[in-house]
Structure 1
Amino acid sequence: MTITQLHYVLAVAEHQNFTKAAQKVFVTQPTLSMQIQKLEDELDVLIFDRSKKPIELTETGKKIVQQARNIVNESDRIQDIVDQQKGFVGGLFRLGVIPTIMPTLLPMFLKAFIKKYPKVKLKIEELHTEAIIEKLQDGHLDAAIAATPLEIPNIKEQPLYYEPFVGYIPEGHRLNGKIKLEVEDLDLDDILLLEDGHCFKDGILNICKSTKAASDDHFQLESGSFETLIKLANEDLGMTLLPYLHTLELKDQEKKNLRMFKEPSPAREVSLIYNKSELKMQIIEALRATIAGVVKGAITFQNVKIISPLPKK
């Protein structure tokens, strides 16, 4: 049994296809098939049910894949130990970022990070929280930036900053005259929301202390972007809530419609999250330090109330 064979098994388990798996690990399909067959012969079990389309794991195969993932992770740790001992900060690093953080935070730190750590090859994916958790647990991401707390046993969270929710109240709206918003002012039927899948939407629902949808006879609209929500609010179709960093890039005219909440302000906790195996910690720490350095000047709020990104049951 070899580490290479286990890599091949994990690739087939992921892609459920020998040809695609071979392309993923950069070998020919016959080579990959032969090595997996050799492993099955050695163990005297079938790992894959080849009669199914797509290929499926056998019951024993499922247990083997779970253990194979642990072994491959531990083998990666050896190189990680050597890199840390040498003080080397480099290599491929796969980072996931949720959509409501990506457009504002990434431009703030990416250039500085690349300049300081040129040997790190960052592969960044924009993913919803659910996909991030799955990829972290499967070893397909090294770390991610997401709203927390997530309360996932195998995932560690390192808070980066606390970002307040800010009201966007257009002229003519019932709340436009208020200097500071209060949570009690909010009416779920009156708020333009992001579509399902965004944890920022779940945060808003949690602020309102309600998960019930608006009544059928009331206008309700959800969108995939804050820009669309702002445009709809400007057309007097309701108000919306924005993350603080997103408000910094608004036009001066639009900034007049912003309203902060009375303290403690409802806010989201933004964290660097990673698997408890703690691989590539030297790069994770470099990311944390870089982000903390650039965000420190933009986010200075302390008296906040953290809103959970988890949907209420």
Structure 2
Amino acid sequence: MTITQLHYVLAVAEHQNFTKAAQKVFVTQPTLSMQIQKLEDELDVLIFDRSKKPIELTETGKKIVQQARNIVNESDRIQDIVDQQKGFVGGLFRLGIIPTVMPTLLPMFLKTFIKKYPKVKLKIEELHTEAIIEKLQDGHLDAAIAATPLELPSVKEAPLYYEPFVGYIPEGHRLSQKTKLEVDDLDLDDILLLQDGHCFKEGILNLCKSTRTSGDDHFQLESGSFETLVKLSNEGLGMTLLPYLQTLEMSESEKKNLKMFSEPSPAREVSLIYNKSELKMQIIEALRSTIAGVIRGAITFQNVKIISPLHKK
């Protein structure tokens, strides 16, 4: 049994196709098939059910893949130890970022990071939290930036900052004359929300104790962007809630419609999250310190109440 064979098994398990798996690990399909067959013969079990289309793992194969992933991660740790001893911060690093953080945070730190750590090749993906968790656990991401806490035993969280919720309330709205918002002021029937899948939406639902009960709404809309929600709000179709960093680049006329909450302000915790195997910690720490350095001047709020991003049943 070799580490290479385990890499091949993981590739086939991921792609459910021998040809695609071979392309992923840069070998010919016959070579990959032969090595997996050799491993199956050695173990005297079938890892894959080749009669199914696409190929599926056998019940034993599922357990083997789970252990193979642990073994491959631990073998990667050897190179990781060497890199840390040498003080080397470089190589490919796969980073996931949730959509409600990507447009505001990434421009703040990316240029600084790549200038300071030119040997790191960042591969950045915009992903919803559910996809991030899956990819972290499968080893397809090295780390991610997401709203926390996620309460997952397999994932470690390093908080980066606490970002308050800010109300966007147009003129003429029932709350437009208030200087500070209270959580009890909110009514879900009156709030324009992001689409399902955004943890920021779940945070708002957790913040609001009421539920959508009226059946005579003229319309119901959930958008994929804060910009759309603001434009609809400007048309008098309701209020919305925004993360604080989203408000920094707004026009002066739109900023007049912003309302902060009374302290402790409801806020989301944004963290750098990574697998408990703690691979590539030197790059994770470099990211954490770089982001902490640039965010310190933008967010100085201390008296906040963290709102969970998890769906509450």
After TM superposition, what 4+ stretches of structure 1 lie above 3 angstroms from structure 2?
none
Match of residue 55 from structure 2: 55
- Counterpart mapping for 1:1-313 below 5 A: 1-210=1-210, 212-218=211-217, 219-313=219-313
Kindly provide the CA deviation profile for residues 33-56 of structure 1, in whole angstroms up to 9, marking residues without a partner as x: 111011111111110000000000
Look up the equivalent residue of 2:248 and give its one-letter code: L
| Secondary structure in 1 matching 2:26 | coil
Work out the CA distance in 2 between the residues paired with 1:177 and 1:46: 69
CA distance in 2, matches of 1:230, 1:168: 7
Q: Which runs of 5+ in 1 are unaligned?
A: none
Counterpart Cα distance in 2 of 1:265 and 1:214:
26
Question: What is the Cα deviation at residue 214 of structure 1?
Answer: 4.4
Query: Compared with structure 1, are the counterparts of its residues 132 and 263 closer, same or farther at alpha carbon in structure 2 (3 Å cutoff)?
Result: same
Question: Scaled by the length of structure 2, what TM-score is found?
Answer: 0.99
SS of equivalent to 1:52: coil
Measure, in 1, the Cα distance between the counterparts of 2:221 and 2:97. 25
Q: Which whole-Å CA distance do the structure 2 matches of 1:152 and 1:16 have between them?
A: 27
What value does the CA root-mean-square deviation take over the aligned residues?
A: 0.7
Q: Partner of 2:272: helix, strand, or coil?
A: strand
The secondary structure found in structure 2 opposite 1:228 is helix
- Tell me, which stretches of 5 or more residues in structure 2 are unaligned? none
How far has the Cα of 1:209 moved from its partner? 2.0
Shift of 1:221: 1.4
Contact 1:232 1:238 in 2 (8 A): yes
Q: Determine the C-alpha separation between the residues in 2 that align with 1:76 and 1:63.
A: 20
2:122 partner SS: strand
Calculate the TM-score normalised by the size of structure 1: 0.99
CA contact (8 A) 1:183 1:208 kept: yes
Post-superposition CA distance 1:259-295 (Å, at most 9, x none)? 0000000000000000010000000000000000000
Distance (Å, rounded) in 1 between the aligned partners of 2:59 and 2:16: 15
What secondary structure does 2:174 align onto? Answer: coil
**Amino acid in the other structure paired with 1:151:** E
- Give the paired residue count: 312
